[in-house]
């Protein structure tokens, strides 16, 4: 017979929380991987991060009886042979016990980088370095950004360059949109001038090619290897341990958005005319296939034909107000063209057809699916 002696009730309100161990979390513990709790601020949910995965923790209240007990020890010496142990002597001592009415339920989520407080680098290095001396501004190291981001290490590394993240003189920052555009343009021209393969780019060789071109033109622009690494990481995919392959689709979308902002922000432009303007934005002799469909989520059709630039950041956050605003701009949308503007509001993960039908009308026209106001 096994008995237990309970001494006192534990105060769990501020000291104890139970977390469910999913197979993935248990596997990480079994493999002795690092697990870390993170939260950007007290108002945001807590996440649990392993080396490559992020779980958001949701408190799940219940009425089940769950006893939390802390063991102190046993009367039985671990070195005592099993044959000499009297089962009646098995008496486990506990410091205390308590009853819990909730558990933390981990749910897989996509890790995010907390970049809201990072400074923007626009190409003026002297101004940036002077600003780092201003104590009223927040300047963090890359490690501090990692520590304050609800994101696993691998997810952070995969996302850092894609958001324009860079380190200048030990300070983490974001390269501005204009500076990224300038750097990408010069990088592509320099690589073509030096006959560097765009499907096997190396950071060191690319940096040397850019540096050579800048030195030859006596430009006052300052580039560092870290900046080139950021632009390569943003527009290329790894194809080896030290080589990168240019993603022509990412480059095409980037220049397409530039063309939309430049030529279609204040007026509608025909699709044919826009394709000519789009092609003119690329560096000379740079060949890239242009597919207008990759720009979905960045334009609308005011009269059902021509296109005009539209950023999702300018739209209302309320789902009904957003649909209303979109139909005010354009009375009828193709499903593929309205989807990028509304999918971020589909928080329950419904099929896009079901989600649209909650707020609008949907009808088939041949192979096309049209969406309009109710």
Q: Which CATH class is domain 311-374?
A: alpha beta
Rounded Cα gap, residues 153 and 147, in angstroms: 9
Rounded Cα gap, residues 254 and 57, in angstroms: 36
pLDDT reported for residue 28: 87
C-alpha distances (whole Å) from 245 to each of 166, 227, 230, 349 are: 20, 17, 14, 33
pLDDT reported for residue 67: 67
Supply the DSSP symbol for 45. P
Tell me phi and psi for residue 268, to 5 degrees.
-80, 145
Residue 354 structure tokens = 């079901």
For 42-84, write each residue's pLDDT tens digit: 777 889 999 999 999 988 887 776 666 666 555 445 554 444 4
What average pLDDT is seen over the chain? 85
Domain boundaries, the chain: 3-109, 120-248, 311-374
For 125-180, write each residue's pLDDT tens digit: 777 777 777 655 667 899 999 998 999 999 999 999 999 999 998 999 999 999 99
CB-CB contact of 249 with 234 (8 Å): no
pLDDT reported for residue 89: 47
Helices (H) and strands (E) in the chain, counts: 12, 15
Task: Centre a 10 Å sphere on the Cβ of residue 227 and count the other Cβ atoms it contains.
Answer: 23
Low-confidence ranges of the chain (pLDDT < 50): 1-2, 75-76, 80-90
Nearest-10 crossing angle of helices 248-263, 177-193: 130
Buried b (16+ CB within 10 A) or exposed e, 160-191: bbeebbbbbeebbbbbeeebbbbbbbbbbbbb
pLDDT reported for residue 64: 73
CB-CB contact of 296 with 336 (8 Å): yes
């Amino acid at each position: 017979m096994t008995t237990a002696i309970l001494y006192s009730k534990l105060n769990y309100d501020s000291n104890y929380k139970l977390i469910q161990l999913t197979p993935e979390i248990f596997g990480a513990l079994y493999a002795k991987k690092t697990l870390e709790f993170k939260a950007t601020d007290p108002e945001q949910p807590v996440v649990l991060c392993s080396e490559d995965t992020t779980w958001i923790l949701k408190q799940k209240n219940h009425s089940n009886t769950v006893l939390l007990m802390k063991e102190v020890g046993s009367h039985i010496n671990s070195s005592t042979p099993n044959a000499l142990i009297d089962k009646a002597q098995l008496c486990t001592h506990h410091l205390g016990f308590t009853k819990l009415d909730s558990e933390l339920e981990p749910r897989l989520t996509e890790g995010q980088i907390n970049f809201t407080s990072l400074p923007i680098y626009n190409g003026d290095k002297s101004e940036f370095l002077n600003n780092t001396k201003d104590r009223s501004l927040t300047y963090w190291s890359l490690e501090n950004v990692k520590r304050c981001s609800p994101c696993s290490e691998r997810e952070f590394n995969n996302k850092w360059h894609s958001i324009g993240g860079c380190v200048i003189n030990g300070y983490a920052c974001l390269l501005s949109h204009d500076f990224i555009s300038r750097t990408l343009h010069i990088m592509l021209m320099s690589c073509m001038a030096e006959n560097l393969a765009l499907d096997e780019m190396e950071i060191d060789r690319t940096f040397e090619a850019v540096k050579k071109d800048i030195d030859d033109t006596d430009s006052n622009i300052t580039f560092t290897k870290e900046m080139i690494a950021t632009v390569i990481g943003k527009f290329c995919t790894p194809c080896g341990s030290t080589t990168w392959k240019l993603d022509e689709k990412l480059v095409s979308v980037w220049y397409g958005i530039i063309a939309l902002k430049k030529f279609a922000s204040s007026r509608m432009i025909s699709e044919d005319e826009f394709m000519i303007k789009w092609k003119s934005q690329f560096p000379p002799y740079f060949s890239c296939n242009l597919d207008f469909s990759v720009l979905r989520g960045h334009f609308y059709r005011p009269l059902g034909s021509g296109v005009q630039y539209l950023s999702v950041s300018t739209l209302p956050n309320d789902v009904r107000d957003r649909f209303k605003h979109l139909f005010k701009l354009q009375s009828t949308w193709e499903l593929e063209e309205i989807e990028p503007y509304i999918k971020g509001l589909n928080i329950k993960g419904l099929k896009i057809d079901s989600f649209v039908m909650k707020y609008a009308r949907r009808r088939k026209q041949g192979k096309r699916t049209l969406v309009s106001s109710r």
